Amino acid sequence: MGLEVYWTRFAENKLNEIYDYYEAKARPRIARKLVFGIVDSTIRLEKNPYIGQKEDPLVDRPHDFRYLIYKNYKIIYWVDITNKRVYVANVFDCRQNPEKIKEF
């Protein structure tokens, strides 16, 4: 399909929070590896945007949210075929309260 993966500001902020946390609690190398792994896992969305499952807690939203899993994180996104983009909306740590997934 050849879509562009676009990260929303909210999702970028989540990535920065993840990096900052692991940089402080572990090491910068571990933080970089985790963040790069999250970002790299979205590359396949360029050609296969519908590979992720639908995110049931977000069905009341105007977009058809889907997600990918990378380690303990859900990468929540939606597809905009008209603009040929996949929007990454959130990176959610699945170890949190599931209700927090609706925060964006």
Residue ranges per structural domain of the chain: 4-94
Length of the chain: 104
- Using DSSP's 3-state secondary structure scheme, residue 30 falls into helix
Compute the average pLDDT of residues 82-97: 95
Dump pLDDT digits (tens) for 37-70.
999 999 999 999 999 999 998 988 989 999 999 9
pLDDT of residue 42: 97
Residue 42 CA: distances (Å) to CA of 15, 46, 57: 13, 8, 21
This prediction has a pTM of 0.91
How far CA 58 is from CA of 31, 67, 76, 87, in Å, comes to 28, 11, 10, 15
Question: pLDDT value at position 72?
Answer: 96
pLDDT digits (tens, 9 = 90+) for 5-37: 999 999 999 999 999 999 999 999 999 999 999
Task: Report the alpha-carbon distance of residue 44 to residue 66 in Å, rounded.
Answer: 14
User: Which sign, positive or negative, has the C-alpha torsion 34, 39, 73, 16?
Assistant: positive
Q: Residue 102: its pLDDT value, please?
A: 84
What's the topology of domain 4-94?
Answer: YaeB-like fold (3.30.2310)
Looking at residue 1, its pLDDT comes to 62
Give the CA radius of gyration of the chain.
14
